[in-house]
Amino acid sequence: MSQPIIEVEKVTHLFKDHRALNGISFEVAAGTLHGFVGPNGAGKTTSLKLICTLLKPQTGRIRVFGKDVRTDVKEIRQKLGYMPDHFSMYKQMTVYEYLDFFAAAYGHVAKRREVIVGDVLALTDMEGRKDDLIQGLSRGMQQRVSLARVLVNDPDLLLLDEPASGLDPRARIELMEILRELRRMGKTIFISSHILSELAELCDSVTIIDRGMTKYSGPMDDLLYAQGDQPVFRLRIEVDPDQWSTRLSVLPGVTAVEPVEGKPEFRLTVESVEVDANAILAELLTMGVPIAGFQRDQRKLNDAFMDLTERGVRT
């Protein structure tokens, strides 16, 4: 098994009398899209700053690419890109000028910069806005420019702190599609959010923290099972659901079929996380079920998140 790209071991960090992190531990495998989730004030931003070497851990150990964040700062920074939750931009520049400036800061000559900037503009679908002033762009477009800026040094690891914050639904969906494409390119993506359901369909694995402590870290599919629950999927069909209720109950691995009141939908409870969701979907297609949608039930995921974070009770 290959070495994790991020290793956080029993890290504690204080700001005066405030304990931002309290013995947090987790790992992130290379080539994955890993969600980092917790309520506001849980310690997510502090963790990201420690991982990207902007802060040094007071106790415990953090290794990135097998290097120690205390001693191997230069080697780590050369291979990662960090996008903070609140970022400043040179808004009097055009999009192209802004990206060219950062490519120059990484030491690329003019001819090479032209290629790099063209590539990141294409990847973030900003080619048509390259001559626009940044100050005239929407919040969503500025987020794309900031992501493009993170990509100019072709990092192996992306650290993104609440990148979808403040975006409208369309911009949020478009950003998530860009992140999927980056994962297909082999990037490791570590993305923080305070909304679990926002990352449920995006991430391979997730770490949930609360009050600076690790509450769960592992595969997204195991999250419900870890809480003693059975995974639930929501099936939406295109026609009257009454004729399908009985037939759905005999699906292999499905233990319960619950109609959703007032909607052409069912909640399918399966035996365990070992039941392959793709196999269920294939069986549904074989049965001729007119599928309009099939996904993990977000209500159950949110219940698990609330349980792990003490039902949102803060002090």
The answer for residues whose C-beta is within 8 angstroms of residue 248's C-beta and 6 or more apart is 235, 254, 257, 266, 268, 289
The answer for residues whose C-beta is within 8 angstroms of residue 39's C-beta and 6 or more apart is 194, 210, 309, 312, 314
175's enclosing H/E stretch is helix 169-184
Q: Is 103 exposed, middle or buried (0-12, 13-18, 19+ CB in 10 A)?
A: buried
Range 11-28 burial, b when 16+ CB lie within 10 A, else e:
bbbeeeeeebbbebebbb
Q: What does the pLDDT average to over 63-78?
A: 95
- Convert the pLDDT of each residue in 235-281 to its tens digit: 988 877 777 888 888 888 888 888 888 788 898 888 876 677 788 88
Q: pTM above 0.85? A: no
Q: Pick from 88, 117, 89, 84: which is nearest to 103 by CA?
A: 117
Q: What does the pLDDT average to over 129-156?
A: 93
310's enclosing H/E stretch is none
Structure tokens at 112: 């090479």
- Which superfamily, per CATH, for 6-224? P-loop containing nucleotide triphosphate hydrolases (3.40.50.300)
- The rounded mean pLDDT for the chain is 88
| Confidence at residue 312, expressed as pLDDT on a 0 to 100 scale | 46
Structure tokens at 298: 């977000």
Residue 306, CA atoms < 13 Å, CB-side half-sphere: 8
Q: Tell me if 6-224 shares its fold with 227-311.
A: no
Stretch among 40-54, 87-101, 240-254 having the lowest mean pLDDT: 240-254
| Confidence at residue 228, expressed as pLDDT on a 0 to 100 scale | 57
**What are the DSSP E strand ranges found in the chain?**
6-15, 18-28, 33-37, 59-64, 67-68, 80-83, 157-161, 188-193, 205-210, 213-219, 232-237, 254-259, 265-270, 291-296
Is 90 exceeded by the pLDDT of residue 288? no
Domain coordinates of the chain in residue numbers? Answer: 6-224, 227-311
Q: Pick from 145, 111, 103: which is nearest to 125 by CA?
A: 145
| Confidence at residue 53, expressed as pLDDT on a 0 to 100 scale | 96
| Confidence at residue 224, expressed as pLDDT on a 0 to 100 scale | 63
The model's confidence at residue 301, banded by pLDDT at 50, 70 and 90, is confident
What CATH code would you report for 227-311? 3.30.70.100
